[in-house]
Amino acid sequence: MQPRDTSQSLNILIVDDEINIRKTLAMSLELDGHAVTAVSNARDALAESAQKTFDLAFVDLRLGADLGLNLIPGLQAQSPWMRIVIITGYGSIDTAVETMKLGATDYLTKPFTPGQVKVVVERIARMRALENRVAGLEEMVGQSGGEPMLKSANPGVQRAIELARKVAPGDTTVLIRGESGTGKGILARAIHAWSNRAGKPMGTISCPTLSAQLLESELFGHVRGAFTGAIRDNIGRIAASDGGTLLLDEIGDLPLELQPKILRFLQDREYERVGEARTRRADVRVITATHVNLESAVAGGRFREDLLYRIKVIQIDLPPLRERPEDIGEFAERFLGEVARGKHIGGFTAGAIEALKSYRWPGNIRELHNVVERAALLCEGTEVGVQHLPSEFTGAKSSAEVIGDALPLDKLEELHIRKVLARTKSLDEAAKTLGIDLATLYRRRRKYGL
Q: Is residue 1 part of a domain?
A: no
Q: Please say whether the beta carbons of 413 and 363 come within 8 A.
A: no
Query: Which CATH number belongs to the domain containing residue 256 in this structure?
Result: 3.40.50.300
Q: What is the pLDDT of residue 309?
A: 95
List the domain range (segments joined by +) for residue 287: 142-319
Do 237 and 300 lie in one domain? The reply is yes
Q: What is the CATH number of the domain that holds 375?
A: 1.10.8.60
- Give residue 211's pLDDT: 80
Domain boundary among 270, 286, 319: 319
Looking at residue 373, its pLDDT comes to 87
Give the residue ranges of DSSP H helices in 69-194. 71-78, 93-101, 114-140, 146-149, 155-167, 184-194
- Predicted structure pTM score: 0.65
pLDDT at 433: 83
Q: Answer whether residue 270 is part of any domain.
A: yes
Parts of the chain with a pLDDT under 70? 1-8, 90-97, 99, 131-149, 395-412, 415, 419, 422-425, 449-450
Q: What is the DSSP string of 220-237?
A: H-B-TTSSTT--S-B-HH
- Asked whether 386 and 395 are in contact (CB, 8 A), the reply is no
Say if 414 falls within a structural domain.
yes
pLDDT at position 94 is: 66
290 within a domain of the structure (yes/no): yes
Kindly state whether residues 115 and 159 are assigned to the same domain. no
Q: Are 158 and 305 in a shared domain?
A: yes
pLDDT score at 401: 45
Last residue of a domain, one of 377, 399, 421: 399
Shared-domain flag, residues 124 and 151: no
pLDDT for the residue 78:
73
303 belongs to a structural domain? yes
C-alpha–C-alpha distance, residues 83 and 105, integer Å: 6
- CA–CA separation, 375 vs 384, rounded Å? 7
**In the prediction, which pLDDT does 141 show?**
44
Element (H, E) at 354: helix 350-358
Q: How far apart are CA 255 and CA 212, in angstroms?
A: 6
Tell me the CA distances in angstroms from 391 to 74, 180, 295, 356, 395, one per residue in order.
61, 22, 37, 12, 5
Q: Count of CB atoms within 10 A of residue 300's CB?
A: 9
